[in-house]
Structure 1
Amino acid sequence: MSSSPAPASFPRIAISNLEGRAQPTHYRQLQLHRLQTELTKSQIEIKASIRESAGHTLLEADFEYALVLFELREHYESLDPKNELATTRQIELGNDNLDRSNSTSIVYVVPITHTLLYSVLSPVCTAIAAGSCVIVELPQTLRSLTSTLRKLLCCSLDPDTCAISESRPAGDFLQQCTLVLQSWPESHPETREACVSPSSLRAVAVVDRTAHVDEAARDIVSARFSRRGSSPYAPDTVLVNEFVLESFLACLLQHMSPYMAHENGSVGDSFKQKERRPFAESQRIFDTAEKSAGMRVVIRGSNGSIISVQDRDADLLNKKISGPVLIVHPISSLDDGVDFANQSADRTLAASFIFAALPEANYLANYIHAHISCVNHIPAELLVGPIAPLHHAPSLSPRYSRSVFQEPRPQLLNKTVLTGLVETARNDSSDTRFAHWKKSLEVPLPPMNRKKGRDVDFFFQALLTGFTLVAVPVLVGLGITVRYALPYIRTRL
């Protein structure tokens, strides 16, 4: 892989893209082989850079590194040279080739800083597996992880098909590319295609009164406060049924103790002291909470804070949170939670995390508008990397599927049955097969298989309800009267 301070050095990439150099299956396998070898050889340096640059724990760095290797292996094992060769010969063999696809174009990756190793290598591995040339935008910074990544990519990948850019190329070059934009909205020039991750979309967790409160608190604390609260999938607001609010807050405080220990310096000593200061945004949130009568700071620390918001009109409830701050808000019912989660009608949530018994969870998952819904757990792999790209099915891992960087190019050889009917009718007006086929389509559709029931309109239902409310007390009173009055009457007689 080449490193370029200026896009002028990308003619090698453009030529390789035109020649299809990155498309042969054996070449793609070789690139993934070389990348995996360099990753395993540099794993100590990579994980040390993650901890130093991002302040992640050893487990968090290990998991990010392992997730990259997992996706790389998944892509490698999906490549089958024999099967792909057979696919290219389908027409020669007299068959339709409906599954044929081609790589789209040059893939230009603009990563987010959150879990940078994964955010870079996940789309890179997918682009390699799809047969695309790839360019990664990695400006020179003081972060050791950036330098480690640049060295890793330059040492392992072919400079004719992979490159690093330190600045954004001109618009005419980007028009040839599929732009992988992991932080959006962001101003960018027009491109041939864009694979956009909507990083501004919010994630909401809902804790119903039927949930296992302690497990919900444990998962939500881990999602919000791990990796210093930087994951775009970390829940921005937690909607808690008011009947379990206090017990939920108590469980949150209990599960936050490891993060408070980290703040006191018992763990994570490799993270620089200057990075332990609260984020500027977190400070603004605290200033707002302290001045508002409808907010209460439950606990405050640089590595984990909880704010309980009672005022439903507070702007904080609709804000995308970046940092180790958890916003909790009470709800009165399932419908109240659905209405609040969907209050921005024009914006679907990035994710909803639902903690409830299965019937209630099913209701919430069906009616809360979210790109992905997780019930009674928050997947660990979802918290690594960017939000899944729009207009593609969300995937936990790999975050990017090969189809994102490929275009369907089906090849049809054999005439369809309908084509034969039309041609026959055109050449022979006496042939009746087309007319019979058309007549068969005019047959009424099969009846709907619905259970029979009585139609009860609103007013009749109200009448039945009123009658029940009046008749039941009268019948009960009559029964009691008969029960006790009848023996008395008999004794008098």
Structure 2
Amino acid sequence: MSSLSGLEQLRAAAIDGRTENVRHRQNEIQKLHLCLRENAATILSSITKDSDSGSSNTSLESEAEFWLTMNAVEQQYDGLDFEASIKQEYLIVTGANNQGRRIGKGVVVIRPTTHTRFYSIIVPLVTAIAAGSCTALELADTMLNVDSVLKDILPKSLDPDTFCIINATLYSQEHVFLVDQTAQSNVSSVDRLCSNYSARAIAIVDRDADIEFAAKTIVKARFSFQGTSPYSPDLIVVNEYIKDEFTEACSRYAGKFFPSMSKSITVRNNNFLETKKALKAAEEKGEVTTSGTTLFKIVDIHDRSCPMTKMKISGYCLSIISSSSLVDSVSISKLSPDLLALYTFSDPATAKFLSQHVNAHTSFANSIPSHILVGPAAPITPVPAPPHHKYSTNMFSSPRPQYIALPAPSSNLALIDDMLARFYEPAGQSSALVKLRGKVVGKDGKAAKLLKPKKVQPEGSQLGFFEQGILLGAGLVLTVIISTAIGGIWVVKRSIKEQRPL
């Protein structure tokens, strides 16, 4: 079946409402789960082969990807309640509003990223099914083992009227909802769900951080999954007072990440070549110095104009730059205007300040969750991503509320309704207009009454981070001045007393 005819079949099924029934969605997800479960060994093998870089962590990461994906499938299945859906469908019949009604996007086309390919394909697929959409996978011919396995098992398991695989890139995107995990900009619209895979992630390590914990957490996030996760920190901003200690801790944990017998590590990612090229150029210009082994590099950035402070990093490369203060850390972070993620390692008050002043889609204080490293960047949408996965059914559906019994309106709204409802009775309409004006016109004759003033908050009742520092500094200065003055007066008095004749 050609890609075009497959999409036409999906459109026909969407028009017929084939996927609106929750029982159908349950059956499809159940078949998908059974298919993945029965082919677990083959899938795990394919994931490992695609990501085999020579690291001993590869098989463990493959297991993590597989089970995280299965967890997402189970969550979507558990979220479907047939009895509740029937009750909601007949709310209008019983005289109740159906405000939470949503419908699927119709035909969803998924364009997956290569990073953790299995998760990146299955999770949006199962979420779209749960939302009531027909789905198509855009899988062009590749050498990836995961693609080969899924092309074989998925069509055998899912309804061919509501699922298909497209073997080429879909250029015409009319009448489909595109899930694009390969986008390179913040593109967002009503007919697409895009992940900006080029957006950067930054970690800030303050002087009060637990250095050992921060180093261990950042090394794990940077080096796991071949260092290709969009959420791996691209730049680590470290306070200058702890930079040497932090760098030493990172080198120590990086050495433990790889087995001693490893000779070489292969990262199958084009972005890694760009990282290596930029690193070599920066070294030649004296903008950075590097340490580490043939397996990994710890990069100490000296020049803030170095391109590595602004680029997306891939592979086993940990870039560190020093800052002199919190304000300086914020300034460095703003070299990238729109961050994918911010990780702060500090006390809670400092974490609050940093996450408030650095513009990032999401921020984590004293943690980099392992699950966030799997899958694509979360799509750019006003709908928040769920806590442990990148997609939710609300992203793949549209609100379609139904009303039959609105709550009683306010007195003003009731008067407006009364006035407009008397279109057949001019005298009654004029009377209603007089009442309305009497309610809303102010004593000064203007079109609306003044709003009631809010309670004024006393000045200084809430001090910000910097205000507290300023007051504390001023207090210390005044304490020194007063102590010095008192001491001086005491010395003068004693001197005068000693000089006074007996």
Paired residues of 2:185 and 2:196 also in contact (CA < 8 A): no
Matched, 1:479 2:466: no
Residue of structure 2 equivalent to 1:458:
none
| Aligned-residue CA RMSD (Å) | 3.2
Paired residues of 1:178 and 1:191 also in contact (CA < 8 A): no
Residue of structure 2 equivalent to 1:154:
155
* Aligned CA distance change for structure 1 residues 277 and 27 (closer, same or farther; 3 Å): closer
Paired residues of 2:101 and 2:399 also in contact (CA < 8 A): yes
* Aligned CA distance change for structure 1 residues 470 and 249 (closer, same or farther; 3 Å): closer
CA drift of 1:89 comes to: 1.3
Does the residue aligned with 1:59 lie in a helix, a strand or coil?
helix
Does the residue aligned with 2:152 lie in a helix, a strand or coil?
helix
CA drift of 1:265 comes to: 5.8
Q: For residues 333-384 of structure 1, give each alpha carbon's deviation from its aligned partner in whole angstroms, at most 9, with x where no partner exists.
A: 100000111134xx31000011111111111111111000011010111100
TM-score, length basis structure 2: 0.86
Matched, 1:291 2:280: no
Residue of structure 2 equivalent to 1:74:
75
Residue of structure 2 equivalent to 1:51:
48
* Aligned CA distance change for structure 1 residues 395 and 191 (closer, same or farther; 3 Å): closer
Matched, 1:179 2:186: no
CA drift of 1:421 comes to: 2.8
CA drift of 1:259 comes to: 3.4
Does the residue aligned with 1:243 lie in a helix, a strand or coil?
coil
- Structure 2 regions of 5+ residues with no counterpart? 423-427, 443-447, 462-470
* Aligned CA distance change for structure 1 residues 226 and 5 (closer, same or farther; 3 Å): farther
Residue of structure 2 equivalent to 1:215:
213
1:88-487 maps to which residues of 2 (within 5 A)? 88-171=89-172, 174-185=173-184, 193-261=191-259, 264=262, 279-302=272-295, 304-344=296-336, 347-391=337-381, 392-415=383-406, 416-418=408-410, 419-425=413-419, 427=422, 428=428, 429=431, 434=436, 438=440, 442=449, 444-452=451-459, 473-482=484-493, 484-485=494-495
CA drift of 1:110 comes to: 0.3
* Aligned CA distance change for structure 1 residues 120 and 452 (closer, same or farther; 3 Å): closer
CA drift of 1:292 comes to: 2.0
Q: Which amino acid aligns with 1:450?
A: Q
Q: Which amino acid aligns with 2:143?
A: L
Report the Cα distance in structure 1 between the residues aligned to 2:369 and 2:116, rounded to whole angstroms.
16
CA drift of 1:396 comes to: 4.1
Does the residue aligned with 1:319 lie in a helix, a strand or coil?
coil
Q: Which amino acid aligns with 2:392?
A: S
Matched, 1:488 2:495: no
* Aligned CA distance change for structure 1 residues 465 and 75 (closer, same or farther; 3 Å): closer
Paired residues of 2:204 and 2:345 also in contact (CA < 8 A): yes
* Aligned CA distance change for structure 1 residues 281 and 380 (closer, same or farther; 3 Å): same
Paired residues of 1:95 and 1:414 also in contact (CA < 8 A): yes
CA drift of 1:99 comes to: 1.0
Report the Cα distance in structure 1 between the residues aligned to 2:477 and 2:228, rounded to whole angstroms.
56
Match of 1:19 among 16, 19, 25: 16
Q: Which amino acid aligns with 1:368?
A: V
CA drift of 1:205 comes to: 0.5
Of residues 156-165 and 432-441 in structure 1, the stretch that sits farther from structure 2 once superposed is: 432-441
CA drift of 1:75 comes to: 1.0
Does the residue aligned with 2:398 lie in a helix, a strand or coil?
strand
Report the Cα distance in structure 2 between the residues aligned to 1:466 and 1:357, rounded to whole angstroms.
25
